[in-house]
Structure 1
């Protein structure tokens, strides 16, 4: 049967298909076969009308009111008076504007655009000179599709260097056995009743005291407690204005605890070994002298 139109493909079960396959070009036959067995599969519709075999549709951002930005302070939320910091607000979507505000002070609102065309979801607000007025909690928002998001969780900016440094030490010492306990003691020379212990420039613990001395207890020493610590004192009337940091206190951990009995036995063995070494060398020298005196004199030598 002669085909009037080579572009029309007959049914594969009919004689016309076999005749068409003999007369059609090879590239057309290859395309038809690929379309039947090797082409993209069609997805099956599920109960909700979604394609079960196809990838899920891209997830659209939810309502901005349910997406909080993340606020951080760089290089640290503990800033020395006279230094500078950057408040960085990060949004989960590409934002148009950002707004920074100190909690409770409406007049402190500042707005700006993203950092650059490559970082549409971030904005940095700089404080060039840290003073007492800079201390306090901050929040930020971002503008997305003509709507402002919910505020971020508050980030506290603490200004240090307002009072003299407190004394800071560890009992029984800075080297603690694994699983052992230690007390970190901090004392303010001005009688400040509130204290904070900072590890690696992050607040580790805060405590209040009825006097000027406070003790931070470590119940069981682990590798997470190893590091450098500082202590600060502050007044309850100004919780974001702290003293100068104390001298650095470095906690170290030994592999295992050594009981007093084992320690005493090791000390005895060490003393016994030193005594044996001393008397052994003394006896060797005495024996050498005695043996040299017993040696008979050679020809031409006089016996003493």
Structure 2
């Protein structure tokens, strides 16, 4: 049965509570209806029901139409809701034994009466709130109102209502929510009413989606290619989630105190940004969701999207050289063409700056030094540097030219120098705590020469080593590493390597072969001692020859 206008026809004098259960009542699509739209009021009792009656404001209004004999529900439809349809409704059902008690009240509210007087709704600090957090929904109107209402669409709870604060021509109320949980995610609207008609409201506000995060584990966020990216290039950000989730959202963090206001979902985890420009630069996070668009994961860790190409490129130099020696201090010097207050050092394979330096003085700087200490094989690789202004931290200069920092890995050490550690066989007390020096490339055609010396009597600086002839210490000597002399003795050393393009210090233990007796005597006695010994031997030989000659003549 359809009615265009509902009017009271009777009082409740015919209502007598019987033994039937209390029915339930509801409105479809809901108890808050925009003026001029359709609403259906439903009432449901038991299977013994023979009919239903509808009451408004406590008075009998109408017999309700049964849907069909097998469906114990009655209904009344209002095709075009007007202001006089607003109010409190109840229903009862009856059988041969008498009527039931009245249902709980249904408050039908008509909105949109004053189309020019619309309310507004916003969230503070954001409509994206973590589970357990707090948020305030601000409802306001420029139209004079006595009460402001907050209603969640599709919910069963009655609307929240508040008396507004009045300032100038603005009426406002704050509805606090929290600690927020998953049940509070959804779409909200704000309404206002006059004191004379509490069931007739102003036009609703625009919908506000309250999205609850941190309900699932945080995703990962990666970039291809790795930032920084040049102006005009294309960039893809990928959000990695747990399995079974099909909605993804990407947000760009705004400067404090602004937070992401809404999560706009898409089905693909890949977000293509490009061609990139200054509007692309910033800090990004991503989220994922399941079937409920109001419930989301925790945010990913932030990813900085740095856009390069806005300032002249700096230069990058290595001090003392780009060929590193383990344990030493290496300085990478980044120099800009003009005063800049921030410098960034990147290494290929890293998504974040390896180091960055910010100048505190307002004038900026022309150069900064990045220190690598102590240098190890992990520092080998390709480096670039950039400069920027702190006022635009995500906009960088053009990249410097590539700087390749090199060193020697263990697989470059000759096999003879990579033997197992054995106990030290002492040749002489002077040879305790020795260090082995290995050098190749300095004698031409890849020849190999080994130096070793007492740590208490070091050889000349490493950059002066060009062969055994340059070793000024009496305790330095050369030993062929591939064909050690016969009869040599074994000692334990630590390794130092130098090559035309590589240098490396290492504590790699090895067994080096000391020279045979002639070379040992040279080291023990020194060059002058050897000469004296040779002269002495020659003299002995001459004396022996003379003695033999004299014996021959005496016969």
Tell me the TM-score normalized by structure 2.
0.36
Greater relative contact order, per chain length (Cα 8 Å cut-off, separation 6+): 1
Give the corresponding residue for 1:185.
Answer: 138
Q: Does 124-133 or 195-204 show the bigger shift?
A: 195-204
- 8 Å contact from structure 1 (residues 64, 144) kept in 2: no
Q: Distance in 1 between matches of 2:103 and 2:27?
A: 13
Q: Distance in 2 between matches of 1:114 and 1:177?
A: 47
Gapped regions of structure 2 (runs ≥ 5)? 1-16, 216-255, 257-282, 284-300, 307-343, 345-351, 356-382, 387-398, 406-555
Quick check: which has more Rg, 1 or 2? 2
> CA distance change for structure 1 residues 112 and 180 in 2, over 3 Å: closer, same or farther?
closer
Deviations 1:220-257 (A, max 9, x none): 1222222111111111221110111101111223328x
Q: Distance in 1 between matches of 2:133 and 2:384?
A: 38
Displacement of 1:191: 2.4
Q: 3-state SS of the aligned residue for 2:68?
A: coil
Q: Distance in 2 between matches of 1:168 and 1:278?
A: 49
Which structure's residues are more often helix, by fraction? 1
Displacement of 1:65: 3.7
> CA distance change for structure 1 residues 117 and 247 in 2, over 3 Å: closer, same or farther?
same
Q: Please point out which of 95, 103, 120 is paired with 1:152.
A: 103
Q: Distance in 2 between matches of 1:219 and 1:193?
A: 26
Give the corresponding residue for 1:98.
Answer: 52
Asked if 1:168 is matched to 2:121, the reply is yes
Give the corresponding residue for 2:179.
Answer: 220
> CA distance change for structure 1 residues 282 and 187 in 2, over 3 Å: closer, same or farther?
same
Structure 1 outlier segments of 4+, above 3 Å: 63-66, 201-204, 266-272, 274-278
Q: Distance in 2 between matches of 1:267 and 1:112?
A: 59
Give the corresponding residue for 1:88.
Answer: 42
CA RMSD of aligned residues (A): 3.1
Asked if 1:116 is matched to 2:68, the reply is yes
Q: Distance in 1 between matches of 2:200 and 2:92?
A: 26
Gapped regions of structure 1 (runs ≥ 5)? 1-62, 288-304
- 8 Å contact from structure 1 (residues 96, 113) kept in 2: no
Which structure's residues are more often strand, by fraction? 2
The number of equivalent residue pairs is 216
- 8 Å contact from structure 1 (residues 78, 201) kept in 2: no
Asked if 1:283 is matched to 2:401, the reply is yes
- 8 Å contact from structure 1 (residues 79, 157) kept in 2: yes
Q: Distance in 1 between matches of 2:41 and 2:304?
A: 60
Asked if 1:247 is matched to 2:206, the reply is yes
Give the corresponding residue for 2:160.
Answer: 205
> CA distance change for structure 1 residues 175 and 150 in 2, over 3 Å: closer, same or farther?
same
Q: Distance in 2 between matches of 1:98 and 1:87?
A: 12
